[in-house]
Amino acid sequence: ISAIVGGLGVMNTMIMSVMERRKEIGILKAIGATRKFILKQIIIESALLSLIGGLLGLAIGQLGSWSISYFSEGLAFAKTTPSLMINALIFALALGIVGGLYPATMASNLDPIEALRYE
C-alpha cells in the first residue's frame, strides 16, 4: 500500500511540475526538441526525485533505529544491511520511473502552439 501511495505521490508531483512548465516545454518543442528528449527529461527528473527521497528516508530510518536501540536497552530492533539499503534505493528508483511515465508521456505529447498559448 505504501508503494502505491508513494508512486501516486511521485506522479502527482511530476504532473504539477509538467503543468507549471508547459510554456517551457512548448518552447523546447518549438525549437526542435524531440518527443523522446522531453520524455527522457521528465523521467530522469522523476527518478532523481525518488532517489533523493529514498536516500533521505534511509538516513532518517537509520537514525531512528540507532536512537531506539540506544535509548531502549534489551529491546529487539531491525538490523539493516547494505544489501537491504541498496534494494530499498533500487525500489525507490523504480517507483520514481514508473510514477513519472504518465507525466512524461503527457509532457511529450503537448502541442507546442497550445503550450505557448497557455498562461
Per-residue pLDDT tens digits for 64-93: 888 887 888 777 667 788 999 999 999 999
Q: What is the pLDDT of residue 36?
A: 96
**Which residues are CB-neighbours of 35 under 8 A, at least 6 positions away?**
108, 109
Confidence at 118, pLDDT banded by 50, 70, 90: low
User: What CA–CA distance (Å, rounded) separates 60 from 66?
Assistant: 10
Confidence at 116, pLDDT banded by 50, 70, 90: confident
Task: State pTM to two decimals.
Answer: 0.83
